[in-house]
Chain A
């Protein structure tokens, strides 16, 4: 490499020359390896996955996706400051949760046929448009989270409220009354707090530090509306 270094030194006094013109005369000694793979980590992994997942069985694909969804459920139930939900976001979990919630919130009464349809659509629209609004709000406030990552987190954090819905339906099987109502109120409030804390744990890091409260408040309202729909549901 001594040859390359001499040339810039010689040329300093002369007129300015184009860049890289001195590289053409570098001689490479034998013991420095110049062969190898240029690996760009993300792209290479994606291509590798493409080739290898095309030939696997359907059961294997579904199990892999279900395991990913299940892993994220665990992250929501035990919220720690981790990047798992953000890094490998997917929208399967939110879809499953939203459809489950909307199906359970439907009334099964016969004399309310007109109300059966809008009920499902109402919950669906509230969940998805609420999540989109919160995402836009946090982006406008200067957060550096992507659109789908935020949708993913908000959707997954509906899990505690879905569990609350299941418990409420079971409790309602025992009949209605003030004690019944108090139990349901307690369960829904606890799950609501859990949802808000879980989503805050994931979303708060993406906001500028002094504006966390501004981004958390609409999340609070969103889960409040869903909790209210769950609490006031009567079959």
Chain B
């Protein structure tokens, strides 16, 4: 039976209004409501369902981030994950942390934990990078099934239905593999209170990137973060001629 590694990220809750810091170095996160990345919830749900169908033997959740990432891991444990690993990244390293580092961490953990499957959400709702699954697969030299909206397990093979721009694409990948979860893969269960209580007793291991031989090296520098430009009011024109004239005026025609 497969051993599954699930990556989860703690992000600003999707309903909160984002505010750019006055010094334009980033967005305000202090005291702001955070929750598990919605696509990662779907990934956790899929892994737990595999365990319930006896397709997976053990599910391990991983999160890279500050101390509060442990809250996100507890939610995963409450959803049915067996054990959790918190890779602690704080301070300046946290600002520098990028998918490339997370991929290196996941790849190392996949090897250490002898995982057969790595599942992550397709992208995080804060950076929208959509890179971690793909880079982790490349580092491990494993096949990848991204944007999965359906996963079927065969003998050493997974049949994945992928949501792509043109429609749906079905691929077969050999395990071990890396998958990324898309919206329609499943509807995640609630983390109920009895399970939250039980989750406190499940193992949660703490590591640092250094323990895994990963250096959080800056590959890029964020120069500035700004609000999107304020939408200009439109104007209603009385007829087509005026419209044509305005377009020519604006250099659009």
A, B: real partners: no
